[in-house]
Structure 1
Amino acid sequence: MSIDADTYARLREIANQLPQIPGIGRVEIAHGEIVMMMSPVKRHELAVLKLARQLNDQLPDTHPGYIAHGGADLEDVGLGRLRRPDIMVFPEASLMDEDAAFHPSDVILVVEVVSKSNPENDYEEKVRDYAAMGIPLYLLVDPRVGTGIVHSGPKYASVERFAFGDTIKVGPWQLDTSVLLTYGP
């Protein structure tokens, strides 16, 4: 579902002000609503770090000039979506433009590490959103249960499941998931 441009612009204006409120971790816009998320736990951030390192080690060979980086906004104004993936792979040069957020056409992979508090968002809504944005690959990592999914192909028709400990193929990259930890009780 898309929302009209005026509604999205109003939501975006509000969303831009929310991170200034203490306790608000990340802000996204989806399905005509502002979604506020808590700051991630340490093991979440460790998974992000370990995966980004592996990708960045391989990108010079597969996609020179690209980087794996987190903490940035991904925006599709036409769909009325503002997301903040844990990792995106994009051309490093795109960091130099003045845009506040990345456009999906610059991104070839998004990675989400499932949080303890809102797993449905990563398993359902973000699968639909990233596919609609045209991002070729979506890697979902779930430290709650030690599993994950590689989504690829048109509308993510290809789904490859894995367990922590497997070496997985994500597009042209090989990732060792034995470095990932599950969340504690």
Structure 2
Amino acid sequence: MTAAPEPLMTTGEFEELARVAGRVSEGVRLEYVEGNLGAKTVPDGDHGCVIEWLMRDLIVLRPELWLFPNRGLQVDSYRTGRARPDAALAPTGVFAGESEWADPTPVLMVVEVTSRDHDTGRREKSRAYARTGIPVYLLIDREKGSVVVRSNPVNGEYERILIQPFGAEVSIPDPVGITLDTEPLKAWVS
């Protein structure tokens, strides 16, 4: 059996690095998933339009919830990872008083929207979200023009995966329990 590689740094060291990086450069967001340091560039305008579209639909369909953009979350089985999904869906006001890296227990869904930086950590983040127990992971893939819904996390993997092209009606399972008309996404393909 191969031993797991030693992590690049401790969680505390990462948090300090992320704090310093945030003061030095507003153009980069750092993450620490599965012991690997990752960086995401600030999203483009079309990326922001996708988040706005989703937020508007969710306000109508689930007004008791809020889509928290760029919410830092403690991820992985032991909460040692730090991820910053493009958005996290959770009950309104649930993160009041939380630090930059919040407990993900109340999160119903995380959302990632692909950007031109071609985030290489998609698989790692999917596993981290599943290990954390986040019920739904929604990936809006602007490069492929598709919506990927991962749900039912079991043993660190999502058991159910639904892939639909932009323009389709996409059902997001419980606990979110909504259907999205993804036609507007066609305007923001990368």
- TM-score bracket relative to the smaller structure: 0.7 to 0.9
Comparing both structures, which one devotes a greater share of its residues to strand?
2
What fraction of aligned residue pairs are identical, expressed as a percent?
27
Distance 1:33 1:141, change over 3 A: same
Cα gap change, 1:3/1:84 in structure 2, threshold over 3 Å: closer, same or farther?
farther
- In structure 2, the partner of 1:35 is 38
| Structure 1 equivalent of residue 100 of structure 2 | 100
For structure 2, the residue ranges without an aligned partner over 5 or more in a row are: none
Structure 1 counterpart of 2:91: 91
Aligned CA RMSD, in angstroms, stands at 2.1
- Residue type of the alignment partner of 1:160: L
Asked if 1:183 is matched to 2:189, the reply is yes
Q: Could you tell me which amino acid in structure 2 is paired with residue 178 of structure 1?
A: E
- Number of residues of Structure 1 aligned to a counterpart in Structure 2: 178
TM-score, normalised to structure 2, is 0.84
If the length of structure 1 is used for normalisation, what is the TM-score?
0.86
Partner in structure 1 of residue 169 of structure 2? 167
List aligned pairs for 1:6-25, cutoff 5 A: 7-22=10-25, 24-25=27-28
Question: Aligned to 1:96, what secondary structure does the other structure show?
Answer: coil
Aligned partner letter, 1:69: F
Query: For residues 25-104 of structure 1, what are the structure 2 equivalents within 5 Å?
Result: 25-60=28-63, 64=64, 66-76=65-75, 78-104=78-104
- 1:30–1:81: 8 Å Cα contact kept in structure 2? yes
SS in 2 for 1:9: helix
Aligned mates of 2:133, 2:103 — CA distance in 1:
10
**1:115 equivalent in alignment to 2:115:** yes
CA–CA distance in structure 2, aligned partners of residues 146 and 67 of structure 1:
25
For 2:84, the aligned partner's letter is R
CA distance in 2 between counterparts of 1:89 and 1:115 reads 20
Quick check: 1:2–1:80 contact (8 Å CA) kept in 2?
Answer: no
Which ranges of 4 or more aligned residues in structure 1 deviate by more than 3 Å?
Answer: 1-4
- Equivalents in 2 of 1:98, 1:55: separation in Å? 23
C-alpha separation between the residues in 1 aligned to 2:6 and 2:56? Answer: 36
8 Å CA contact 1:110, 1:135 repeated in 2: yes
Whole-Å Cα distance in 2 between the matches of residues 32 and 144 of structure 1? Answer: 27
Aligned-pair CA distance for 1:23: 5.2
Q: 1:3 to 1:108 in 2, by over 3 A?
A: farther
1:120 and 1:133 map into 2 onto residues whose CA distance is 20
5+ residue gaps, structure 1? none
Separation in 1, partners of 2:119, 2:25: 23
